[in-house]
Each structure stands twice: as structure tokens, then as C-alpha cells.
Structure 1
């Protein structure tokens, strides 16, 4: 039993590290995972590595090739567009539902996140962090467990693309302005307005990501 628990813990740690490298683009799109080299790099045996790889394949964060090789998925524009479209629908739904459930304390929290976002908008990583916090807070207010579950799954995949979305100051300033309008709509209890603002906000991020990635050498045809 102890040995089994240790093996499971090891696989979980390897999974976490591989996932981090994939989402941060440290492992490049299209890069092949060579088990012996990766096991050496991570200082683990092949067993937990293989378990982690199987889990990442199941989550579509790695791809099993017909030849047996395992690759990091390329940045496919069709897949990216689909992910953002589904996320837009989830964000829209949760923004609408948050309007009828937000308490004064919830609104104060959202406004505080926006102000912290504004203070750090010149810094890509910090602006991204507060933007994600705002959307997560709205999801919590909405309280739709299924929407939040699907949203979280999609957001995990989208970590690979956020670098492209948030890289310019113009985009960060625009996102901040949209966040302000979204919070105002939730605070005013305007569900249709909040839903549309959230939907359009995500589609704007989609368009920015596609523009950046289409001209990037990271895209492999």
C-alpha cells in the first residue's frame, strides 16, 4: 500500500511539472516527449512519467501519435477559436447569473480586484493574474457548479494562449476598461448587459490571440 501511494504521489508531481511546462510553452508546441531524456531531466523513474503522460493525453495536453510517439500539441487556430467560443458562452452565462446573486460584499470584492488590476496594468503577468481573479470571482458569485467546472477545464487549456493575448499594453488597457464595465453591469443588476459584455470580452481576447499566433513562428502548419 505504501509503495502504491508513493507511486501515485510521484506520478501526480510529474504530472504537475509536465503540465506547467506545457502551459508555459517551456515545452514547445510540436515538441516530442522522449521518455528516457524526460525521466532523467525530472529525476524520476519511467513508471510515474508514463502515468503522468497518460493523464495529459487524456486531457488533450499531449498527443499520442500513430507511431507511438508523444507530442506537445501545436497551437492550432481552429482549436483555439473553439475554446474561446465555449469560454465566451460560459462567461456570459455566469455573468448573467451573478447579477441576481451578488451581495454588496461581492460587489466590493469585484471592485477591489478591478482597482488592483488598474494598479498593475503595465505588468503583463500581474494584469493577467487580476483578470483571471475577476472572472473566477464572478463564477463563484454565479454559483453554477457545472458552468464553473467546464469553465475551469477550458481555462486550464487556455493557459497556453494567454501570453499572446496579454502581451500588448493596448490590449491590457482595453481589457481593464471592459472589466470595469462588466463589474458595473453586475453591480447594477443588468443581466443581459453583463452577459453581452462578458461574451464580447472573451471574443476580443480570442481575436487578439489568433492575430498574435497567426504571425508567430510557434504555429506549425
Structure 2
């Protein structure tokens, strides 16, 4: 079946690009996906586009309507609360485990990320990337593959909300301070303190996101 690789490649390209547009809010919450126009815009035929759409529906990043239409899900405050609660539990567990397993090299790497975080704290996107890097390093240090797997699934769902969490300088400064105390707890081998800091940090991000979302009008439910 010589056409299979091309079809799979087209579906993957469509999936990656559609997902990027959804997560960056380029496709607006509540926006409908019009198949012919989208296929043309992505440079694929309708068959691989449909494969990509089905995959995104299975990931809850697109929503199938009873009428047959496909929409970008609205930004739902209840959903974001649930996602952040689950992520807080995972981050807390991984911070606790990281305290027990961190090597001197791990601590040095965390301090390096902190330094980069501090250097870019005035820039929302860069600060967010360094924050994500720090949490990823802690997750890798913790070494719990199931917690990491569930955390990654939740994080993927949260991408649409993440930019709301550091939209103000006050929140970015607060997050950096929390990152510092978290690294101190991990470096000091204090699992209970690290677990609490990680949990509280994620819940503070949730509160910041909900405050920012409340003023964004359409697409919020």
C-alpha cells in the first residue's frame, strides 16, 4: 500500500498544526472547524484532516457537536480548576520524590534553570518556558514514570490556559519566588516542605489563570 506513508504523514502534519493553533488560541475558543477551508489552509486533503480531527477529539482538544459540527472547546473555569487540582497533586508527589533522589548534579541543574528564569522574568513567554523547564527537571529527578505520564497528559490539556497564569509581572515575580523556595526544599532534602510548596505554587497559578480568564469575555464558560 504505497500511499499509506503519505496519508499518515498528511494526518500527522494536520494534527500537529491544528493542535498548535488550538493550544496557542490562534483557533479561538468556540470556533468551528470548516473542513474544506481548513484542509486548504493546511495543504492536505480532507481524509488526513479527518484523521487529525478524530485524534484531537479523542484528546478533548476538539468537540464533536450533535449536529455533526466540530468546535474548539470553550475555556471552561470548572475544567481549569479540575486540571490544576490534579496537576497540583502530581507536582506535589514528584517534588516529594525528587527530594529523596536528587543528586548534586540535579541541584546544580535546577539552580541553572532558576538563574535563567530570573534573567527573563520580565518576559512572559520566556519566563513560562523556564518555569516549565524547572518542573520538568523536578519530574525527571523524581523518577516516577506513572506520575510523569499522568502529569504530561494533564499538562497537554492545560496548554490553552497556561499563558493566563503569568500574564502580569506580579505573578511572574511570585512564581519565581516560589520556584526558588521549591528548589531550596529539594536541595535541603525536605520532602514535606517541597510537596507543600509545589502544591501551593500550582494552586496559585490556577487562581491567577481564573482571574485573568474572568475578564476575557467570549469563549469563557
Scaled by the length of structure 2, the TM-score of the pair is 0.98
Q: Which residue of 2 aligns with 1:82?
A: 82
CA contact (8 A) 1:213 1:219 kept: no
Aligned to 1:46: 46
Q: Report the count of equivalent residues.
A: 221
Aligned equivalents of 2:113 and 2:103: distance in 1? 15
Q: Distance in 2 between matches of 1:156 and 1:184?
A: 28
Return the offset for 1:146: 0.5
CA distance in 1, matches of 2:60, 2:66: 15
Kept after mapping to 1: 8 A contact 2:167/2:212: no
1:40-86 per-position Cα deviation (integer Å, ceiling 9, x unaligned): 11111001100000000000000000000000000000001000000
**Other-structure match for 2:18:** 18
Alpha-carbon separation, structure 1, partners of 2:99 and 2:65:
46
* 1:27 aligned residue: 27
What's the secondary structure of 1:159's corresponding residue? helix
- C-alpha distance in 2 between matches for 1:148 and 1:220: 29
2: CA distance between counterparts of 1:121 and 1:213? Answer: 21
Determine the structure 2 residue equivalent to 1:213: 213
* CA shift for structure 1 position 156: 0.9
Residues of 1 paired with 2:20 and 2:41: CA distance?
15
Q: What is aligned with 1:123?
A: 123
1:142 maps to 142
Tell me the equivalent position of 1:61: 61
Look up the match of 2:4. Answer: 4
Whether the aligned pair in 2 keeps the contact of 1:75 and 1:218 (CA below 8 Å) is: no
Alignment partners' CA distance in 2, 1:211 and 1:93 = 26
Shift of 1:2: 2.9
Paired residues of 2:77 and 2:220 also in contact (CA < 8 A): no
